[in-house]
């Protein structure tokens, strides 16, 4: 999503409003959990004050992530509110981890910052609620098996049965 700085200058004191579908499918190729991502609908406004530009935007879309239990595809809709600051001065140098980004040239490219905000929004774990998917999930494989936490019938070890009977007798006497 790029727009020329000239449009910002023409808007004067009024905010420059924008709305566009942005293709961020490059995120699928990065080493993250995003398996698929639809085009993201981005809308927002940019305000210029001197050499500073403040951009507030909302990005909405849907990404497909793996289920933490079964690794099946799970659709995950998202809505992100982003806020970025830029400086167009040719003398401005970004220092360390500054929150103000320099703009070189005559075009402001918001796409890398949209991608960054999406990556920050990816959850660490997501689970599929679909019962059919959960039934088809693998429960064992070569050298592993899923252990459930369901309580089993308590069976007394035969070696401890005599001790248990002594404890029961003691409780009955008291």
Tens-digit pLDDT string for the chain (174 aa): 888 878 777 777 788 888 889 888 888 788 788 888 889 999 999 888 888 888 899 999 998 888 877 778 888 899 999 898 888 776 766 666 677 787 877 888 888 888 888 888 888 888 777 766 656 666 677 877 767 776 656 666 777 777 778 888 877 776
- Whether 69 and 58 have beta carbons less than 8 Å apart is answered as no
Q: How do beta strands 73-87 and 100-102 pair? A: parallel
Q: Which residue ranges make up each domain of the chain?
A: 2-136, 140-173
* pLDDT value of position 77: 92
Structure tokens at 65: 């992530």
* pLDDT value of position 168: 81
Contacts of 143 (CB under 8 A, 6+ apart): none
* pLDDT value of position 58: 93
* pLDDT value of position 41: 93
Instruction: Classify 149 as helix, strand or coil.
Output: coil
Would residue 50 be called left, alpha or beta, if left means φ above 0 and alpha means ψ between -120 and 50 degrees?
A: left
3-state DSSP percent of the chain in helix, strand and coil, to 5 = 25, 35, 40
First to last CA, the chain: 80
* pLDDT value of position 170: 77
The rounded distance, in Å, linking the Cα atoms of 102 and 68 is 39
């Amino acid at each position: 999503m790029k727009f020329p700085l000239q449009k910002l200058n023409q808007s004067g004191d009024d905010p420059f409003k924008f709305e566009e579908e942005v293709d961020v499918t490059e995120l699928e190729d990065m080493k993250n959990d995003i398996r698929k991502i639809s085009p993201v609908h981005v809308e927002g406004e940019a305000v210029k004050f001197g050499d500073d530009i403040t951009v507030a935007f909302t990005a909405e879309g849907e990404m497909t992530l793996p289920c933490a239990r079964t690794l099946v595809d799970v659709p995950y809709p998202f809505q992100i509110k982003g806020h970025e600051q830029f400086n167009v001065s040719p003398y401005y140098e970004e220092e360390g981890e500054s929150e103000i980004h320099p703009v070189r040239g005559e075009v402001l490219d918001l796409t890398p910052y949209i991608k960054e905000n999406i990556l920050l929004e990816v959850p660490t774990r997501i689970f599929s609620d679909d019962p059919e998917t959960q039934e088809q999930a693998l429960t064992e494989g070569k050298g592993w098996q899923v252990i459930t936490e369901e309580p089993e019938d308590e069976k007394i070890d035969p070696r401890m049965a005599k001790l248990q009977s002594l404890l029961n007798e003691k409780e009955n006497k008291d």
